[in-house]
Amino acid sequence: MTDVYSLHGTTAAEIFSSGLENLDQIDAIAVAVTWRDGKVTAGASNTTNERLAFMLMVLEHHVKAGFFNNTAQDPS
């Protein structure tokens, strides 16, 4: 399985800054943003449906592994 690095506790500014600093190494991006008014926007950059599905599968695996290993962080 692909390496997954937790972004828990990372600010939005740190994520976007890191992305800009490493732009030449990024192949595709999938993102979901929750706005303060409760709206959610989500989407993906120039990637195929298959690659997006893989990205979501890796994220799901990471979340489940943390949950089942009792290491999941409380999001509140």
Helices and strands in the chain, H and E counts? 2, 2
Asked if residue 55 is part of any domain, the answer here is yes
Asked if residue 49 is part of any domain, the answer here is yes
Does residue 21 or residue 68 have the better pLDDT?
Answer: 21
Does residue 43 or residue 70 have the better pLDDT?
Answer: 43
Closest by alpha carbon to 26, among 46, 8, 43?
Answer: 46
Domain extent for 52: 12-68
Asked if residue 46 is part of any domain, the answer here is yes
Asked if residue 25 is part of any domain, the answer here is yes
CA distance 9 to 5: 12
List pLDDT tens digits, range 19-62. Answer: 889 889 888 888 888 899 999 998 888 888 898 899 888 888 88
**Tally of domains within the chain:** 1
Asked if residue 7 is part of any domain, the answer here is no
CA distance 3 to 9: 18
